[in-house]
Amino acid sequence: MTIASKQTTVGFIGLGVMGHSMAGHIRKAGYPLHVYTRTASKAERLVADGAVWHDTPAKLAQACDVIITMVGYPKDVEELYLEPDGLVAHAREGAYLIDMTTSSPLLARRIYEAASLKGLHAMDAPVSGGDVGAREARLSIMIGGEEGDVKAVQPLLSTMGSNIVHQGQAGAGQHTKMCNQIAIASNMMGVCEAMAYAESAGLDPETVLKSIESGAAGSWSLSNLAPRMIAGNLEPGFYIKHFIKDMGIALESAKAMNLVTPGLSLAESLYSQLAEKGLENKGTQALIRYYTGE
């Protein structure tokens, strides 16, 4: 089965900083869209554009061929999928369940196994690209699940992302996302230190960026988040509290594999200090505050 536009009913649960844009792209592509989010007001624009609102995930599940989730924490994912009133219990037989939350690889396996027993197709498909990637439909989507299932939902995923890669069996998408977050964690420290150094040396940080962002130091964080640091814009493209959650999952997974990750451990400790100062709802670029002492 291939998920075809205008023939497949899609449910989207979780309309936050990234989820709202992602759901909007699905609707614009012509898919009948059903939505649920804990804060109903977040769905108002989509409903005005033709989406159907449901007041429980179970009711949404009963109406949809494909259900996508983009929520906050592994505990939210577990409750949403595995509780008696959750998606696995109420989804139509043969439905596709795609969790795009960054969550636990072990939990992804549990959901896959529970779904398979009910004749459902479950995949873990976390994303990278932040609010900009979500708005511009340029997300990187890393998928764990059966190859045939991934091929079936490829057209739908293509409405949200430009780099869609099947990484392996259930849980492989989440493990890949941990690789992504580990790389970002140390890189963010480097970006902040570079900007703090430029400022301390009396340089213009914007001019410095013109030289270093296209060279060997170039990275997504340097090009997209350093300008926000320079402008003093700490609003979230990705919340500090969610990054701390991701780093915690990565640290736990690394420990289980007997892998030492000192850079990740240091980054997690610095971000935790920011959260203790009340910055947990700011964007990850707020790490610059650690270096500037503001």
Quote the pLDDT of residue 241. 96
User: How many angstroms separate the CA atoms of 128 and 102, rounded?
Assistant: 9
- When pLDDT is cut at 50, 70 and 90, the band that residue 1 belongs to is low
φ, ψ for residue 96 (rounded to 5)?
-105, 130
User: Does residue 26 have a pLDDT over 80?
Assistant: yes
Catalytic residue among 118, 177, 245, 255: 177
Quote the pLDDT of residue 78. 98
Q: Tell me how long the chain is.
A: 294
Q: Does domain 175-292 have CATH number 1.10.1040.10?
A: yes
User: Does residue 18 have a pLDDT over 60?
Assistant: yes
Quote the pLDDT of residue 7. 84
- DSSP helix/strand/coil, 101: coil
State mean pLDDT over 221-225: 95
- When pLDDT is cut at 50, 70 and 90, the band that residue 17 belongs to is confident
State mean pLDDT over 241-245: 95
Q: 214: burial class by Cβ within 10 Å (0-12, 13-18, 19+)?
A: exposed
Cα separation values, 259 from 167, 179, 255, 256, Å: 20, 12, 6, 8
- DSSP helix/strand/coil, 65: coil
State mean pLDDT over 238-267: 96
Residues with Cβ within 8 Å of 66's Cβ and at least 6 positions away in sequence, in order, are 3, 8, 9, 10, 11, 95, 96, 97, 98, 153, 156
To the query of whether residue 6 is one of the catalytic residues in this protein, the response is no
The one-letter code for the residue type at 235 is E
What digits encode the pLDDT tens for the residues 60-119? 999 999 999 999 999 999 999 999 999 999 999 999 999 999 999 999 999 999 999 999
What digits encode the pLDDT tens for the residues 173-195? 999 999 999 999 999 999 999 99
State mean pLDDT over 136-149: 97
State mean pLDDT over 22-47: 95
Quote the pLDDT of residue 3. 73
User: How many angstroms separate the CA atoms of 271 and 110, rounded?
Assistant: 30
Quote the pLDDT of residue 130. 86
CATH architecture, range 10-169: 3-Layer(aba) Sandwich (3.40)
Quote the pLDDT of residue 237. 87
> Among 131, 130, 161, which residue's Cα sits nearest to residue 143?
161
* Domain boundaries of the chain, sorted by first residue: 10-169, 175-292
What digits encode the pLDDT tens for the residues 89-105? 999 999 999 999 999 99
SS (H, E, C) 155-220: HHHCCCEEEEEEEECCCHHHHHHHHHHHHHHHHHHHHHHHHHHHHHCCCCHHHHHHHHCCCCCCCH
What digits encode the pLDDT tens for the residues 271-289? 999 999 999 999 999 999 9
pTM of full prediction above 0.85: yes
| Average pLDDT taken over every residue of the chain | 95
State mean pLDDT over 10-35: 96
- Please report, rounded to a whole number, the percentage of residues in the chain having pLDDT higher than 70: 98
